[in-house]
Structure 1
């Protein structure tokens, strides 16, 4: 196959900047991709250096999550598949030490920027770190090769589908500008359009005397003669002044052309025919295949008609403006800014409404929408008609072709009452459960109610009820959202269920030494009316807090159950029981000897009776001064072992320090104990 050579060059001076910049030159973004075909080579004489954007590569991001894949120093190319098959191509760097990467995306019917966020668009690619030639060929083993020297430069050829559109990214990992040549070949797919192209439509626009032509395929923008000499117009003395490709300011190709004439065209039939322009050709597609000279289309222009006034957007809640939608463009200057082209007629019982202004949204002096501004928001239910009248500017609405819309046309619209979600409520309180009863007044044509409770559950309808069980009383927020299908409101009330009853107390100390008085602190909550105390010894008490009490002395530890029953205003009860312990001694001492033989008697060495100590530190030392045991918990005991082995029989020194919590004094003691076996 013979290849033609297309050289696309860029200014080297602007690219050789010290720091990289955003990729904005033509061809460096998906939107401005170069159109390509399979019958020519493309040579990039330089590659401008610019910052890259990260791509989410589904396969490589999984096997190589620590590598960022970017469209660094990129060029993008777009093509369409006209015959299904495999695609082969080669990228040959001008400097074979350069590293080029590439990826192909299927962008059929999608926003091309989705390649950065949607991994499913990827069909093949190659990100090998090896410099030199790269591409897709029969030599490739896999569709995607990730980054690194272990991957080969060539991937296997992808399978293309008929009618699908594709985007080829060529990323230049090496920060040089030496360029490359891209050529297609070796596959069975056809990406060269076999059709020469035809007119598909021709429409006359009165504004600026323009004709909009649509083609069956895309052609290169640069092959369109700006003076319009590629076209002939028959059936009128009007001359073509200029031609402009649609979207040619942002891309390399077009499928629509706008012709500007020197005068208006009247009703009738006209023929538009292709010919070679002053640039020596007709329009050329990406492979330089021309649309045939003599290709023509008949354009029929009917008698200009007025644009009907018959549609407004649905009216929302509390409208303070209406949006009029026109089926065809009208002239912006035909709309009076004071809104006098419109009048509102009340055909129901709603409040009076008037127009105080109008806004237009213009594109080249034309608009298809008008914002009619009202004298204020409409808060009540009403039935109205928006009528078209002659404004203070002396006309109604004027079409693009200077035809006024007739007077008397009108569009009906309805407004709805604003709604109020405020509601009433009452509670039914009981010992085991409480119930909240809720009701909305149904005013303002409310047709939808949604009650939302604190546990995430919902109910519908104008009334609702909710049951809460003991242990889950307290303040409960309840939100109601109401709607009459046009207006919506919500309201939240925090409803208190005050009968949560909890019996609770704490003693001044849980362990009592001989002659200690125990003081008990009542922590109970609720609407308590009665207290019933049982101290486990002696008389009880009916007071909120019992008097301090001294338990009898004993030669051994004793435990006493202290019980509190509370009763509230609903005669509900709650009970709590705690145990207190009395001990025969609180004198802190360390035994002079211990026998760790496992017989259950005197098997451990530890400080005795450390009930009223804090910040305790107990250490045991061998005869040579080695510390064999340390603890800050007085109930943690030395078992006569060192590193798991039995300690030898003998005398051991100990040090003990602690804070006496009754006197708030620091105490330091030392002594010796004998280990016997």
Structure 2
């Protein structure tokens, strides 16, 4: 297993080494982080107020008198250019927040460039910058950092919960793919033995205290009871075997001896067990990778190791682009690569195993989902015209063929099943059958006020899905037209389901509903407006018995209510309109056979 070439440096701060915790309560004493980070058992209280009494810094606000609450400070310096993030891991029942400052001076922190303060009501186990390493969407993550060499950062971590079992710091980002050994600048750690070291339990760690003028070396270790000498170790290098704090005394001739200390923490190296292949329908079926975790871990604890799933071996090796645990396959054959990572040290991982997902294609159905049939006694054949002998077909109406003939309106549903072993992959498609008839115009009413105001209403024998059109204008869904110009018009009603149309010619003219021929100068004569737009218009007036009383043309002044000079009585009278249409034919105007009233 290689130590480098990963994008997540997972540095767990839980567990047996809590006694060696390094916590800096103040910014000025912030613990430097290099490619390895010291183990931290948690936080307790706070030191000097680094915010000079301010009540807020970015998203972090006062809770117990200062911005800092059960705080810890860390610092790091970028050594390369690239994308960088970090994950702060903790128990799901705890509430941890952070603020990140881009500065090289604790006296001038400014506002944080990344900050998160959510109360962890979602029981997350990570907050940070970049992407949650479990692959889930997490509101407690801020955007990636784009860093450049020599940029300094200070990280404040606060604990707002009553529980305090510690946290981990994990670096991530593509910068660790391109520069696995130099992403962060280790020169910020001024120590003969170098920065704290975290390694896998199958790796060899050598501490090097070589000093040019040294005459002797004394090595010590502390596993919790204070520093004790290591018998037989007097050389410049120490081959480390256990997790502990280590100290070296470098004896020099001048008596100006050197003392240096560092921490070495071994994390367990995981082993990924063989996983079984999966079979799933390609219909949006979810495969729960959480259940695959148990296979991958075998008897290993999920509290010590994290299992992630990836689309390529490169992504699994680098720990990037983890697939969601609720995974929906989309291919007929897909290989999933598994990475098992130590929560104490992200450098300790195993990406040797994979498994296949065999995706079962669903039957493809392409027949129309809406069928409209014209006629009084129609029948129609619906369904999949080219069946597949490998599939079974079943209609909601009971038939077991790919095509059926129906004679009734309704919704018909076809279920097609592809059986592979014990797995059934089903495609369902419904077709709506509508029997339709062509429209028939039964009546047209024309309400005429004047040449600029009229209402034309169209009536049909049966309801249906129609549109209405006057002349060559745009069709409309309403059966009412307003303010048509006087004259001849064609009304067309079309069935939207393709079952034909009906057209009627109408004439728009206006006439008063009554007149009063009493020589008072008001409504003394009855006449029809709009005749001037027609060719050879003639109005014929009748009484209720059909007797012809009078005829008007476009030049007439109107009818005065007499017949051969004799005053006619108050009553209703009827009229018809004839004219020469656009085809040169003499015709009677449809729907203009109306009545009016003579009042004395």
Same fold (TM over 0.5): no
TM-score normalised per structure 2: 0.30
TM-score normalised per structure 1: 0.28
Task: Name which structure has the greater RCO, CA cutoff 8 Å, separation 6+.
Answer: 2
